[in-house]
Chains A and B, each alone.
Chain A
Amino acid sequence: MNINLTLISQAVAFAIFIWFTVRFVWPPLRNAIETRQKTIADGLAAAERGKHDLELAARRSADVLRETKDKSAELLTQAERRAQQIVEDAKAAARVEADKVIASAKAEIDQEAERAKQHLRERVAELAVAGAEKILRREVNATAHADMLSALKQEL
């Protein structure tokens, strides 16, 4: 253990190394580390924000989906109701039309029958006359009808 000038020289070397580290080594690396820390912190914050946004968007999309479902269900029931109504209307219109057709057919039939009756009526007189003529031709003789003929003569 002999203290000598080495002590001074080592102290000087130590001082120089400390100065060098303080001046050239520590600050740049410190800056680099701190900048990176900040970048990482920002990135994490952004990721957190993104997650939050995603959650919000998911909730919104669920809302929209539910709304759309409700709306489409409503539209479906409306359409069904409308279709039913159209069918009902068509049925009613068809019934009216059928009634009309039936009525007109009936009327025509009636008319035809009337015409046939008329015709028949006209023919009935003729037939009666013809029948009468035939009957008369066979029954009429002078003796049988002398009384009536003589009465007729009297009246003249």
Chain B
Amino acid sequence: MAAGAELTPTSYITHHLGFLQKPVGTGDFWVLHVDTIVTSIILGVLAFGFLWWVVRGATAGVPNRRQAFVELAIEFVDDQVKGIFHGDRHSFVAPAALTVFVWVLLMNAMDFLPVDIVAKVLGAVGLHEWRMVPTADVNTTFALALAVWFLMIFYSVKVKGLGGWIHELFCSPFGSNPLLWPANFLLNVIEYVSKPLSHSLRLYGNMYAGEIIFLLLGLWAATGLAGTVFGAILGAGWAIFHILIVVLQAFIFMMLTVVYLAMAHESH
């Protein structure tokens, strides 16, 4: 960091973990994380713009490399969805799963960018606080998980009817005896609360932890030449290992989305 003498490990880490906040009202809630929003939207527009661009020129004949690559991704997602969701997956569930997978994968992949170089470049254009990994912001993962949660409730009600859904809240999984209603309801409420929490916090925790480790390794560079060398080597090692985590977490997030939506479509 250019700040030199006043730089301490604590200030280094808090600097890198600080959001570019923009208050839009009074109170803690009315704040926007501009970095998270801008990065995620740029990534989303790039990813889905690319998909759209490829799909617009798609041919049923021999596909070119670009199309084959996109088809590979789509077939991969479609295969996963096919195994879990039994119904008309093409109308919503499979494309939604593709959206989740592609978007989360790209947002996770921002973790590969070297934190300090990005901070330097963005600092040079006046953006001193910028978190590059949108999925290391709990707002993003919660937004995704809650959106899936609402979709889950929407499809539960749509497939089973409002009465059917309420009946299921009270009568499954233990049985429809009125004595069991409180137990059933309690279990269902816990399930409904825990689903978005585990869904979002799993991704958030993995990405946040990954970021922290990169920062700690970066911190090592402050101790001298040996620290810099070892920090670089271990940073490379962690980045390679992180490739697995990035893809795996995106995959898990997609699979859970599909599983939750599939469960909403099935009656107990």
B and A form one assembly: yes
Q: Which A residues contact B (CB, under 8 angstroms)?
A: 1-11, 13-15, 17-18, 20-22, 24-33, 35-36, 39
Known A14-B143, A25-B55, A31-B60; judge A3-B37 contact (CB<8 A).
no
How does the 8 Å CB contact mask read for B21-49 relative to A, with 1 for contact and 0 for none? 00011001111110011001100100010
How many B residues are at the interface, by size bracket?
35 or more
Q: Which residues of A contact B98 (CB under 8 A)?
A: 21, 25-26
B48 touches A9 (CB 8 A): no
Nearest chain A CB to B216 CB, angstrom units: 19
Give the residue of A4, A9, A21 whose beta carbon is less than 8 angstroms from that of B28: A4
Nearest chain B CB to A4 CB, angstrom units: 4
Would you give 19 A-B contacts (Cβ < 8 Å), ordered by A?
A: A4-B31, A4-B33, A5-B32, A11-B146, A11-B147, A13-B37, A13-B44, A14-B103, A17-B99, A22-B95, A24-B52, A25-B51, A26-B94, A26-B95, A26-B98, A28-B58, A30-B74, A32-B58, A35-B60
A11 touches B48 (CB 8 A): no
Whole-angstrom distance between the alpha carbons of A15 and B103 in the complex?
Answer: 12
How does the 8 Å CB contact mask read for B180-200 relative to A, with 1 for contact and 0 for none? 000000000000000000000
Q: Tell me the interface secondary structure of chain B in the complex.
A: helix
Known A18-B95, A21-B98, A25-B98; judge A33-B90 contact (CB<8 A).
no
Give the residue of B28, B40, B63 whose beta carbon is less than 8 angstroms from that of A2: B28
Whole-angstrom distance between the alpha carbons of A81 and B98 in the complex?
Answer: 86
Q: Which B residues contact A (CB, under 8 angstroms)?
A: 24-25, 28-33, 36-37, 40-41, 44, 48, 51-52, 54-56, 58-61, 63, 67, 70-71, 74-75, 90-92, 94-96, 98-100, 103, 134, 137-140, 142-144, 146-147
